[in-house]
Structure 1
Amino acid sequence: MDLKQLRAFVTVAETGNVTRAASLLNLVQPAVSRQLRLLEEDMGTELFERGRHGMQLTPSGRTMLEYARRILNEVARAKAEIQPTDEPVAGIVSVGLLASTSDLLATLLAGEVARRYPHIRLRLTIGYAGHLQDWLEAGDIDAALLYKQKETPALHVKALLEEGLWAVATPSAGLSHKRPLAFSRVAREPFVLPAAPHGLRAAIEHAAAEAGVTLNVFAETNSVNVQKELVAQGHGWTILPAVCVKDEVERGVLCAAPLASPGLQRTVVLAAPSSRQATAPVRCVVGALMDCVKTTFDQGRWPDARWLG
């Protein structure tokens, strides 16, 4: 097994076609087919089902694809780390952003990385905290913002800020940032919530248990945008970080109020795997990400938050 075989395998898997893969790799088709055959011989199993509709991964092939991508990413990171010091910082860096913060940070971070480090290729992955943590520990992403994550043997964690969670409804509900609502009052409404085991759902259910109330869940979704849209259409209330609904509240699409008795808070942290040393490109992008979070906080664009970093 060598890197040429892995590159050929990943490219064919992504394109589903040997001819297109050969064009992308600047190789002739027989050379790509030979690389695949050698890799399958080395692994002792078929990685593709070859048919009229192209190249389809077998179960073994799908497993191999995860490892092959990881190997190629690690090689790219190694090259970036040991490059001559007089060369510009370059490489591929994968960053995970919480779905509730992506609108605020994704464009800002991409612009900042492009300005500071034009030779770094940034990959942004948006997801919920549980998924991001899994991808971090698997080595699929280099760093991520997570929710309420403690340091573990697998992860280095730095707390950045603590933010409040707000009740969110249609404007007709008349919610206001000046009038906090008791959780027992909010719980009378039908709810649109993230599906379990999402971290935010767990926090809401814990608060409900503390308040001695039962939630009436109308709908569940793993999309923040769908969650807000369902609320805007009058299908129920929800609970989200204030930063997640700031724009909609300002436009009059939604209204929101902080929660009290008990109040709900979440801590946003920066996490990175402890199993491998961060490369120079990763350190640069992580620094830019922390600057972006601090900038949005200083500019008042992260409402109802307290800086911890």
Structure 2
Amino acid sequence: MELKQIQYFIALFEEGTVTRAAKRLNIAQPALSMQVAKLESEIRQKLFERGPHGMAPTEAARLMYRLYTPILRDIDHAREHLSRRDVIVTGRVSLGMVSSEAQSVLPESLARFDALFPQVEVSVADGFSAQLIDAVESGRLDAAIINKPRGRLMLDVKPLLVEEMVLVTSALHGPELPGTIDLTGQPDIELVLPTRRNGLRGALDAALMAADVVIQPKFEIDLLSTIVQFVEQSSVATILPRVVVQAQADEGRLRIRTISAPPIVRHIIQVTHPKRPIGPAAEALIAIIAEEIGRVTTRAPE
């Protein structure tokens, strides 16, 4: 997924017709249509339906628009700072991330960031959301990317993404299950889940409680990498964000199934101290990380 494709998609979403979107972007209509078609092919979802009044966005397009509009705005803001020839961005960015995101998209994100800000030093810490909140409050971190907690925060909060959580089984040892799972039907599945100290478990429990569904996991483990390895080697299933398991699913080691009921999502937010605003380099790093997460999580279910 290229930045250009996202820009073309947003223009078509907002303008409603290929003609107006192409005029806004100052490109030929076939070029716009081709890039949107490539984007649909990559994420394996239909984004627009042609109708009598133009291009009508699908539900997938609406979700993608909500995910990518703030990211594109942050990238444009960072590019504006970078384009100022009289400014050389230096210094240090100290960022915290929940481990589910750090393990999944951090290497690619840091490589992209280093190409933009070669003179900026970066320090990244992972941990539970509560630990990272404390670190931002005390000044040990400039900002943190965390799971949205239930309680009210005294920090500045910026929503980044709403991420789907999926049921995951081993491709080799897992049970035979349909492509979509209804947890309200109390399926007979042995589960391994993070402990209740983990923000992922909080998002899962909240969704299940709202649907009056009770699930008792057989195993509880906080190390997500261990959960993934355990599931891959056994008949036990888990429920995790798609970004955590997509790479293994692409390699054919895991199978991902959409949870149809109740829908389970986790909200990823950025927290900063109200008295310590972050600079353009930190904004750019967070925007890149959010884009990498969105790139993975907008893939279609298998």
Quickly name the TM-score band, shorter chain normalised. 0.5 to 0.7
Q: Does structure 1 retain, via aligned residues, the 8 Å contact 2:97–2:127?
A: yes
- Provide the residue aligned with 1:287 in structure 2: 284
Deviation at 1:169, TM superposition (A): 1.4
> Matched residue of 1:190: which SS?
coil
Deviation at 1:97, TM superposition (A): 1.9
Tell me if 1:132 matches 2:132. yes
Unaligned 5+ runs, structure 1: 1-84
The range that moved more, 210-219 or 95-104, is 210-219
Amino acid at match of 2:291: K
CA offsets, 1:191-244, max 9 Å, x none?
Answer: 211111322212222333344443232222211101111212216221101111
Instruction: Return closer, same or farther for 1:267/1:209 CA change in 2, 3 Å cut-off.
Output: closer
TM-score (norm 2): 0.63
- Provide the residue aligned with 1:236 in structure 2: 236
1:301 and 1:222 map into 2 onto residues whose CA distance is 22
- Provide the residue aligned with 1:50 in structure 2: none
Deviation at 1:295, TM superposition (A): 5.2
Instruction: Return closer, same or farther for 1:131/1:235 CA change in 2, 3 Å cut-off.
Output: farther
2:177 and 2:94 map into 1 onto residues whose CA distance is 38
> Matched residue of 2:268: which SS?
strand
- Provide the residue aligned with 1:272 in structure 2: 272
- Provide the residue aligned with 2:204 in structure 1: 204
CA offsets, 1:163-182, max 9 Å, x none?
Answer: 11111112232456xx3211
- Provide the residue aligned with 1:17 in structure 2: none
Amino acid at match of 2:287: M
> Matched residue of 2:191: which SS?
strand
Unaligned 5+ runs, structure 2: 1-84
| RMSD over aligned Cα atoms | 2.7
> Matched residue of 2:192: which SS?
strand
Q: Does structure 1 retain, via aligned residues, the 8 Å contact 2:149–2:199?
A: no
CA offsets, 1:102-150, max 9 Å, x none?
Answer: 2343112322332222221100112232222222222211111112258
Matches within 5 A, 1:15-164: 88-149=88-149, 154-164=154-164
Q: Does structure 2 retain, via aligned residues, the 8 Å contact 1:243–1:301?
A: yes
Instruction: Return closer, same or farther for 1:247/1:277 CA change in 2, 3 Å cut-off.
Output: closer
Q: Does structure 1 retain, via aligned residues, the 8 Å contact 2:109–2:292?
A: no
TM-score (norm 1): 0.61
The range that moved more, 119-128 or 95-104, is 95-104
Q: Does structure 1 retain, via aligned residues, the 8 Å contact 2:112–2:288?
A: no
1:182 and 1:124 map into 2 onto residues whose CA distance is 37
2:185 and 2:288 map into 1 onto residues whose CA distance is 38
Instruction: Return closer, same or farther for 1:186/1:247 CA change in 2, 3 Å cut-off.
Output: farther
- Provide the residue aligned with 1:78 in structure 2: none
1:186 and 1:170 map into 2 onto residues whose CA distance is 20
Could you list the structure 1 runs, at least 4 aligned residues long, displaced by more than 4 angstroms after superposition. 149-153
Q: Does structure 2 retain, via aligned residues, the 8 Å contact 1:130–1:198?
A: no
Tell me if 1:301 matches 2:296. yes
> Larger Cα Rg: Structure 1 or Structure 2?
1
Q: Does structure 2 retain, via aligned residues, the 8 Å contact 1:96–1:126?
A: yes
Instruction: Return closer, same or farther for 1:217/1:152 CA change in 2, 3 Å cut-off.
Output: closer
> Matched residue of 1:234: which SS?
coil
CA offsets, 1:248-304, max 9 Å, x none?
Answer: 1122211121112211111212221113233x4xx312223213422553xx42236
Instruction: Return closer, same or farther for 1:228/1:124 CA change in 2, 3 Å cut-off.
Output: same
Higher relative contact order (CA 8 A, sep 6+): 2
Instruction: Return closer, same or farther for 1:287/1:250 CA change in 2, 3 Å cut-off.
Output: same
2:203 and 2:138 map into 1 onto residues whose CA distance is 25
Q: Does structure 1 retain, via aligned residues, the 8 Å contact 2:97–2:145?
A: yes
Matches within 5 A, 1:163-202: 163-171=163-171, 172-175=174-177, 179-185=179-185, 188-202=188-202
The range that moved more, 120-129 or 166-175, is 166-175
The range that moved more, 109-118 or 287-296, is 287-296
- In the comparison of the two structures, how many residue pairs are matched? 214
2:186 and 2:128 map into 1 onto residues whose CA distance is 24
Q: Does structure 2 retain, via aligned residues, the 8 Å contact 1:174–1:255?
A: no
